[in-house]
Structure 1
Amino acid sequence: MSVTLSDVANRAKVSPATVSRVLNGNYPVAAATRERVLRAVDELDYVLNGPASALAASTSDLVGILVNDIADPFFGIMASAVQAEMGCQDGDGTGRAGGEKLAVVCNTGGAPDRELTYLTLLQRQRAAAVVLTGDTVDDPAHAAAVAAKLARLAEAGTRVVLCGRPPLTAHPDAVLAALPFDNRGGGRALTSHLLELGHRSIGHVAGPAERTTTRHRLEGHREALAAAGLGGDRAGGGLTVHGPYDRRSGYEGARELLRREPGLTAVVAANDTVALGVCAALREAGLRIPQDVSVAGFDDLPFSADAVPALTTVRLPLQAAGARAGRLALGTEKPPPGRVAEIAAELVVRDSTGAPRTG
């Protein structure tokens, strides 16, 4: 039996009118009440039915862009590039392929439940397209839930694009295109660079352990160590610490690595922001970069070249990837063969890495 609006109201302990207001967004509702209604919608998997289903067959001018943290330049750059494509026009001033779209950035904070809630809301609004950026939690149950949501969006005519995110394993046809970053290859190239310089005591301040990007970058790092014969404790995590993708994590992570291994000669950071925190901790400890300890980041964010010293990092073409995702979402670019096109990572060597100290 289909779930009704009344069923949602009963689960949320509100009136059907309140449920309607939350779903339509046409009347102010208290934040706690709104959250309760949306939780009930997710728990019951409520979908439009009856006369409303006819509306779901046609999409709106809305495009949803899901990000983990809009304050993080990694996501901000991609979201901006996607949004820019929504307003692109042909030379004669007319909108492309169906006109301009209204792009709405949905900030999940990296929370799996918020990601699912935003997908439900975008389904309610009959979004023309949804672009999911960045990584996801490394959890099969959540992956299956997201895949099921995206499948329902696709069935209703929404164009779904993944940008910098692994392809779906379940319901792969729900996604028009997936543009994953080669995080594993980038991690391998970065650590190989340090090994070629002569480093053998290399620490890793990794991202949150439950994120797919963290796992892939760490796998590349460990592959390079193993290829150089540095297995055991170092490859298994003895010189690895985890934390958020922020400066404080880099600072605290570097201090912990120095406590574990006073003879540390290099640190690979989860991203460029984390690398700044690493550099601050090393300077506080009286260590020079790179004369005493080399530091490398990841992503090649805009400030990386202007840091002192300039950061060695792995360049991900965030703006180009976001723009391509936007064109795919609009239908102005054809999907890649097999619906998947991996985005290459490029090693960028700057002044923050050098040969290890001797003596």
Structure 2
Amino acid sequence: MAVTLAEVAAHAGVSPATVSRVLNGGYPVAGSTRTRVEQAVEDLGYVVNGPARALAAATSDLVGVLVHDVADSFFGILAGSLQSALAPVGTGGARRLAFVCNTEGVPEAELAYLVLLEGQRAGGLVLTGGAVEEPEHTAALAARIARAAANGAPVVLCGRPPLPVPAGLPVATVMFDDRGGAFRLAEHLLSLGHRRIAYIAGPPGLSTTRERLAGHHAALVRHDPGLAETCAELTVHAGFERAAGYDATRELLRRGARFTAVAAANDTVATGVAAALREAGIRIPEDVSVAGFDDLPVCVDTAPALTTVRVPLREAGVLAAQLVTGRRPLPPGGITTLPTELMVRASTAPPPPDGGRP
């Protein structure tokens, strides 16, 4: 038979109302009393009835976390950090259950998950990764987000631009300086002497792709306006997976394009680029330099170690958790932009004197 809240109260020597305050969090309870209640919960194995609590309140303890691909290290790191911050151990605060939804980057799936999470009375929503920039979808997403926030579920947009929602709603945006990071990466390659830089961009119509490509292009224009036109012929849109980098590089080689460096949309794509170059007998970085974006843990272990742009994924996950639970107030304007950092490693070097391969 399930242990009741009254039994927990009797075991701890307090009132049922005090037990409820401790379990719900956000209420002032003396430290010694909180400790007795938590020990009683542990001793008796009491489990909170989540559905009953959700019916009694406007929302539940569930926080929906939408990711493009849970198997992608970018989203795995971000979601893992967020989940850990939602359920801190030993802090005495109310814990939240993170429910990760894998959208595969499909706009319809994103909206469908939000409908399901509304049905579960989710107490918060965190949407991660680049946004699909299609007007009809943006309008539908903004309406759904505004409705959730108006019903008491704070929303955090993490790694994507803000949405046009009414002012005053608990909607926060955590952005990465993708444009600045791409600009600094291109400047690094230019400073080494590269002038024919291939760029494996992400899928078109995605905010992350747009921001990173814009930063890359801005650096070329600042150095020499003619470079932007030259390198445009070396720009290929592809997916964010390893196979996309491999196939795009093979296509550039098949065309006979001459390039001395490849900047990839992310680190996973960069591993595919490197594989295609090695397969063609092209050395990194002696013949062609390769760079990525995100600074995933694998970057330091590749051969050679990958030059990339560090995106503060763990920091973003913690911040998103704090914002969606109200532990941190919304910033002015509701937007926080986290800086990115250029990480120079052994995969980039000055171009070869022959002007590049093939």
TM-score range relative to shorter protein: 0.7 to 0.9
The answer to whether the aligner puts 1:80 opposite 2:74 as a matched pair is no
The answer to whether the aligner puts 1:293 opposite 2:276 as a matched pair is no
CA apart distance, 1:165:
1.2
CA apart distance, 1:263:
2.5
Q: Does the CA-based 8 Å contact 1:316-1:345 persist in structure 2?
A: yes
The match for 1:234 is 230
Counterpart residue type for residue 265 of structure 1: T
Q: Any idea what the Cα deviations from partners look like across 1:213-246, whole Å, max 9, x if unmatched?
A: 01110011111111111345335x3111111101
CA apart distance, 1:261:
4.8
5+ residue gaps in structure 1?
1-53
Residues of 2 paired with 1:345 and 1:251: CA distance?
26
Q: Secondary structure at the match of 1:180?
A: strand
CA apart distance, 1:174:
4.0
The match for 2:61 is 61
Structure 1 pair 277/351, CA: closer, same or farther in 2 (3 Å)? same
Q: Does the CA-based 8 Å contact 1:83-1:326 persist in structure 2?
A: yes
Q: Any idea what the Cα deviations from partners look like across 1:66-109, whole Å, max 9, x if unmatched?
A: 00000001011111111111211454xx2x1xx11111001001
2:119 corresponds to which of 104, 124, 127: 124
Q: Any idea what the Cα deviations from partners look like across 1:256-297, whole Å, max 9, x if unmatched?
A: 222345421000001001000000111111111001000000
Counterpart residue type for residue 128 of structure 1: G
CA apart distance, 1:350:
0.1
Q: Does the CA-based 8 Å contact 2:185-2:216 persist in structure 1?
A: yes
Structure 1 pair 271/173, CA: closer, same or farther in 2 (3 Å)? farther
- Taking structure 1 as the reference length, what is the TM-score of the superposition? 0.80
Matched residues, number: 300
Counterpart residue type for residue 229 of structure 2: D
Residues of 1 paired with 2:216 and 2:191: CA distance?
14
Q: Does the CA-based 8 Å contact 2:217-2:228 persist in structure 1?
A: no
Structure 1 pair 103/354, CA: closer, same or farther in 2 (3 Å)? same
Matches within 5 A, 1:268-279: 268-279=263-274
Q: Does the CA-based 8 Å contact 1:148-1:171 persist in structure 2?
A: no
CA apart distance, 1:171:
3.7
Q: Does the CA-based 8 Å contact 2:170-2:330 persist in structure 1?
A: no
Counterpart residue type for residue 161 of structure 2: P
Q: Does the CA-based 8 Å contact 2:64-2:122 persist in structure 1?
A: yes
Q: Does the CA-based 8 Å contact 1:247-1:275 persist in structure 2?
A: yes
- Taking structure 2 as the reference length, what is the TM-score of the superposition? 0.81
The match for 2:318 is 323
Residues of 2 paired with 1:192 and 1:242: CA distance?
21
Residues of 2 paired with 1:182 and 1:227: CA distance?
19
Residues of 2 paired with 1:114 and 1:173: CA distance?
27
Matches within 5 A, 1:103-182: 103-171=98-166, 173-182=168-177
5+ residue gaps in structure 2?
1-53
Structure 1 pair 56/122, CA: closer, same or farther in 2 (3 Å)? farther
Residues of 2 paired with 1:169 and 1:56: CA distance?
31
The match for 2:197 is 202
Which structure has the larger Rg?
A: 2
Q: Does the CA-based 8 Å contact 2:261-2:288 persist in structure 1?
A: yes
Counterpart residue type for residue 326 of structure 1: A
Q: Does the CA-based 8 Å contact 2:195-2:227 persist in structure 1?
A: no
